[in-house]
């Protein structure tokens, strides 16, 4: 177990606003001894720990950093439960137990449904106010506020929060790339490549939605994004099958708009196959040289129901009686993607 008493002592002293001499006088020892504790060059005698803890009004476990370790272990248990149970209920329970932990507040914010927009805004604003030294939480909260206010039709508020986020090129991810060396740099750059490809995918979806494009033009846009995923992953998309599945479904809808039965069914079938692969993908390393330091990983699909809902739209009515279309729906049902 990693004991971090030197870090705890420095943190507690700053919070209390006392000096080395204040604590030394209270303990009847030299301030030089306390200075060595804070530098990690030595440790307090075990008999002094209860007295130091009482001085700062904390437990001995918290003083030793053990309390934090146990808290992290418990939060990780909540995280594992959230992947298997009702995530919202799990994180409500977690936030009741750890109301001031930023990771718990952030997780709770993410699982709040759109119907609880007021609560989501309240939690996001709290996260911003309390995460002064944790910019990742701040940026996540700002992103949540942007989307939530936009969904509420409060576009100007959404723009205000968006303007507080950094530009693509001036981010921790990009700057860190130039500072790291060797294997650490390779891992980081490969993560960047996945994130950048994901950003291009997201931009293309928005471009296709907002631009006055014809159906065949949108097919080209989606196919361009597919090519990027193919170049990056080669074959083992892992979690990103979720992205390719959505793209093939959107292409199928474009062909349905053009009454092109064959292409509509072909792409819809591929969409379902990718969705099934995303659900079944194994925990193993990617094979592409661009991302082979990273694991394929598993993640419950966010798009599974979305694919099924799209097959129920009127646009597919012209092929609803086709045996191939029925077979696609049956495959969705077989894998509980309904």
Question: Residue 301: pLDDT above 60?
Answer: no
Contacts 24+ apart (CB under 8 A), 199-204: 199/168, 200/225, 200/228, 201/225, 201/228, 201/229, 201/243, 201/247
Please determine, looking at this structure, whether the domain spanning 5-64 carries the CATH number 1.10.260.40.
Answer: yes
- pLDDT of 258 reads 96
- Tell me which DSSP letter residue 293 carries: T
Poorest-confidence range of 136-150, 187-201, 222-236, 300-314? 300-314
Angstrom distance (rounded) from CA 79 to CA 84: 9
CB 108 within 8 A of CB 95: yes
Single out the residue of 273, 170, 255, 178 nearest to residue 219, CA to CA. Answer: 255
CA distances from 200 to 173, 181, 207, 332 (A): 16, 26, 10, 28
What tens digit of pLDDT does each residue of 315-324 get? Answer: 999 999 999 9
Q: Within 10 A of 276 (CB to CB), how many other CB atoms are there?
A: 19
SS3 content of the chain, % helix, strand, coil (to 5): 75, 0, 25
Question: Residue 238: pLDDT above 60?
Answer: yes
Task: Note the residue count of the chain.
Answer: 338
CA 294 to chain CA centroid, Å, is 16
- Winning range, highest mean pLDDT, from 116-125, 230-239, 273-282: 116-125
Question: Residue 271: pLDDT above 80?
Answer: yes
Q: Within 10 A of 160 (CB to CB), how many other CB atoms are there?
A: 14
Which residues, 6+ apart, have CB-to-CB distance to 2 below 8 Å?
A: 65, 69
CA 330 to chain CA centroid, Å, is 32
Q: Which residue has the higher pLDDT, 257 or 32?
A: 257
Per-residue pLDDT band at 338 (split at 50, 70, 90): low
CB 337 within 8 A of CB 278: no
Angstrom distance (rounded) from CA 40 to CA 189: 34
Helix (H, G, I), strand (E, B) or coil at 255: helix
Poorest-confidence range of 63-67, 114-118, 125-129, 220-224? 63-67
Single out the residue of 145, 148, 139 nearest to residue 166, CA to CA. Answer: 139
Query: What does pLDDT average to over the chain?
Result: 88
Per-residue pLDDT band at 198 (split at 50, 70, 90): very high
What tens digit of pLDDT does each residue of 111-141 get? Answer: 999 999 999 999 999 999 887 665 578 888 9
CB 198 within 8 A of CB 233: no
CA atoms within 13 A of residue 124's CA, in its CB half-sphere:
22
- Tell me which DSSP letter residue 316 carries: G
CA distances from 205 to 64, 201, 217, 287 (A): 50, 6, 13, 27
Q: Domain ranges in the chain?
A: 5-64, 84-164, 173-334
Whether 5-64 and 84-164 share one fold: the answer is no
Q: Within 10 A of 285 (CB to CB), how many other CB atoms are there?
A: 12
DSSP characters over 184-216: HHHHHHHHHHHHHHHHHHHHHHHHHHHS---HH
- 0.85 exceeded by the pTM? no
CB 275 within 8 A of CB 304: yes
φ and ψ at residue 242, rounded to 5 degrees: -60, -40
Q: What is the chain's Cα-based Rg?
A: 26
Question: Residue 1: pLDDT above 50?
Answer: no
Out of 1.20.1740, 1.10.1060, 1.25.40, 1.20.58, which CATH number does the structure's domain 84-164 have? Answer: 1.25.40
């Amino acid at each position: 177990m990693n004991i971090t008493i030197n870090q705890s002592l420095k943190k507690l002293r700053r919070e209390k606003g006392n000096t080395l001499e204040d604590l030394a006088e209270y303990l009847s020892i030299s301030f030089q001894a306390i200075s060595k504790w804070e530098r990690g060059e030595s440790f307090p005698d075990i008999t002094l720990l209860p007295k130091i803890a009482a001085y700062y009004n904390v437990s001995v476990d918290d003083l030793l950093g053990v309390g934090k370790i146990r808290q992290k272990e418990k939060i990780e248990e909540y995280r594992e439960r959230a992947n298997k149970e009702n995530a919202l209920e799990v994180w409500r329970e977690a936030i009741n137990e750890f109301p001031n932990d930023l990771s718990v507040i952030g997780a709770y914010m993410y699982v709040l449904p759109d119907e609880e927009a007021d609560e989501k805004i309240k939690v996001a604003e709290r996260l911003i106010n309390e995460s002064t030294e944790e910019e990742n939480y701040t940026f996540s909260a700002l992103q949540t506020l942007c989307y939530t206010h936009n969904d509420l039709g409060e576009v100007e508020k959404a723009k205000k929060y968006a303007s507080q986020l950094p530009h693509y090129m001036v981010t921790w991810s990009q700057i860190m790339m130039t500072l790291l060396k060797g294997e650490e740099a390779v891992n980081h750059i490969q993560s960047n490549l996945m994130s950048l490809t994901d950003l291009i995918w997201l931009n293309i979806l928005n471009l296709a939605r907002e631009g006055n494009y014809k159906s065949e033009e949108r097919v080209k846009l989606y196919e361009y994004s597919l090519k990027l995923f193919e170049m990056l992953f080669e074959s083992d998309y892992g979690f990103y099958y979720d992205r390719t599945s959505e793209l093939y479904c959107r292409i199928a809808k474009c062909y349905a708009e053009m009454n092109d039965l064959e292409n509509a069914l072909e792409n819809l079938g591929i969409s379902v196959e990718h969705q099934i692969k995303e659900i079944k993908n194994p925990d193993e390393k990617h094979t592409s040289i661009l991302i082979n330091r990273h694991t394929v990983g598993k993640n419950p699909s966010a798009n599974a129901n979305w694919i099924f809902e799209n097959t129920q739209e009127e646009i597919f009515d012209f092929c609803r009686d086709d045996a191939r279309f029925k077979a696609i729906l049956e495959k969705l049902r077989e894998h509980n993607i309904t």
